[in-house]
Amino acid sequence: MYRRLDPERMPQHVAIIMDGNGRWAGKRSLKRFFGHQQGAEAVQYVVETASRVGLPWLTLYAFSLENNLKRPRTEVNFLMRLLKSYLTNNVQRMNDNNVRIQYVGRTEELPEEVRERMRYAEEATRKNTGTTLTLALNYGARSELVDAFRRLVADVQRKGLCPEQITELDIHRYLYTAHMPDPDLLIRTSGEMRVSNFLLWQIAYTEIFVTERLWPDFRGIHMLEAIEDYQRRERRYGGLSDGTESDDVESLPANQMVV
C-alpha cells in the first residue's frame, strides 16, 4: 500500500470523524464502554501509520461538545477516564514515533484532572517534529466560530477598525486551527453521510471519504486506502479542471442566452 501512494500528492492534513464505537459494541452484544476502549486502540494504529508515511497533520474528532451535553453522565465520565489513560500510557509511543500532540476545543470546560494529563502529554511531546496529532475535545464547529467572532469583535472595538475591513483571513486568525493548514482530506467512518459540526469553516474545499467500516475496526491501512482514493481525485477549489474551456457567454447571440 505504501508503494502505491504518490509521495508528491500526499495530503498535508487529514481529519477523521471517528464514529461507530457504540454500534461496534452493539453488534457483539457488548456494552458501549468496550467499543470506546477498542476505538482508543484504533487511534494509536492510525497515528503510527500517519507518522510512518510522514503525514504532517492528523486531526481526530475525539469528543464533541454535543457528547458532553447529551450523553449519559456515566458514559461521559468513562470517556474522560479513557482519555486520561490514553494520554498517560501512550506518550512513550508518541515520542518513539516523533508525534507531537495538541488539542482544539473548549478544553477549559473539561475536568481539571483531564486537563492536567493533557498538559503533561503536550509538554512531553512538544519537541517532536513529525506528525502533529490534534485531538478535538469538547469541540463543536459552531462554538468555535462563536469564540472566534467574540475575539474578533473585541479586537475590532479595541483597534477601532471598520467592519468593512474584516476579511476571511481575519476570521481564520481567530479559529482554534489558525496555526495549521485546512484539511485536504476528511474521513468519516461508520457510513454516516454528515460532517457532525466538525471543522465547518476549514473543510470548505476538503475532499471527503466515507467508509462503512466502524471506527474500532479502522486501521492505518484503511487510512492509506482513503489517501489513495484522494490521490485519484482532481481538486478544483471551485474552478475548472485543467484543459477545460469555459463557455464564452459574451459571444452567444442574445436569443441563445438563458437567464
Among the residues of the chain, which ranges form H helices?
21-27, 32-52, 65-70, 73-89, 91-96, 112-124, 141-159, 168-173, 220-231
C-alpha cell at 227: 489517501
Catalytic annotation present for 19? yes
For residues 64 and 196, the answer to whether their CB atoms sit within 8 Å is: yes
92: left (phi over 0), alpha (psi -120 to 50) or beta: alpha
Catalytic residue among 6, 21, 67, 217: 67
For residues 56 and 14, the answer to whether their CB atoms sit within 8 Å is: no
DSSP reduced 3-state for 180? coil
Catalytic annotation present for 6? no
Catalytic residue among 19, 68, 182, 184: 19
Q: What is the DSSP letter of 199?
A: S
Residues annotated as part of the active site: 19, 67
